[in-house]
Amino acid sequence: MRAQLSFLASVLIASPLTSLALVIPRQATGFFNPAQGGGSMLTDAGNGLGEPLNVIISGLSSPQVLSQSGVTNYAKAIGFSTECLGIHIGDPQSANLGDGHGSVDQTIELRQDFGDPNLGTCLESLNGGNHFRVFIQNGPQQNTGALFLAVSQEESSSENHTISPDGYDSGRDNLVAGAVGTKNFGGVTYHTTSQTVSGLLSAGTAGINHGIAIDGQVTLLTVTVS
């Protein structure tokens, strides 16, 4: 018995971080699957349907990113900004991230700025483009700090800002393409890596707003500030 205890102690001392990661899974992933806490990877659009939470900014990212002000500055580094003249278009949506908060309204909505973080989102509101809603997983049961994004490409105001065909998948892919690598804004430098996560969403149109099919893939971003 003493020999077994001595061996176990030596393993824990040699690799404490590995052992810790085994007993605290969320430290290895940076988010908690909402479905496991009674939540959903779809927002509530108010009509019985929802939009996919198709991008997650990992809770393992730098803390400076994981807040409303932090993600807003990060968004400006990757081609998005606050809404045109502060005017919100469309109804806010809610989501249950399974963190113990239940259903909560989006924290903020950010739109493609076409290179102008001050007035560029007015072009998005007029002509259409990419946009995303932000929800923070910070409840009493799962305080991962992860940011869940509902990203989609939308049509122009003349089309009532309906989602473009394949707009959920293309919106996700366009955001990720503009985020990965090194970006700067407001004196802050961001380094972003990505990985694809399967199994959080189902492919197809079931429960999806506007009946637009999705491929079921979620992109996990890890953002480090230097």
Residue 94 structure tokens? 């809610």
Residue pLDDT tens, the chain, 226 long: 444 444 444 433 443 333 333 333 444 579 999 999 999 999 999 999 999 999 999 999 999 999 999 999 999 999 999 988 665 556 789 999 999 999 999 999 999 999 999 888 888 878 889 999 999 999 999 999 999 999 999 986 655 568 999 999 999 999 999 999 999 999 999 999 999 999 999 999 999 999 999 999 999 999 999 9
DSSP β-ladder status, 129-136 and 108-112: antiparallel
Residue type present at position 131: H
Residue 176 parent element (H or E): helix 167-179
The owner of tokens 């700025």 is 113
Residue 61 structure tokens? 């990212």
Return the domain boundaries, the chain: 25-225
Q: What confidence score (pLDDT) does residue 84 get? A: 87
Residue type present at position 101: H
Residue 203 structure tokens? 């492919």
- Cβ atoms 28, 58 nearer than 8 A: no
Radius of gyration, CA atoms only, the chain: 19
* Strand order from edge to edge, sheet including 181-185: 80-81, 108-112, 129-136, 147-154, 55-57, 218-225, 188-197, 181-185
Residue 29 structure tokens? 């992933």
- Cβ atoms 97, 34 nearer than 8 A: yes
Q: What confidence score (pLDDT) does residue 87 get? A: 58
Q: pTM here?
A: 0.85
Look at the alpha carbons of 139, 63, 77, 26 in this order and tell me if their dihedral is positive or negative.
Answer: negative
Q: What confidence score (pLDDT) does residue 125 get? A: 75
Q: What confidence score (pLDDT) does residue 11 get? A: 38
Backbone angles phi, psi at 13, to 5 degrees: -70, -40
Q: What confidence score (pLDDT) does residue 35 get? A: 98
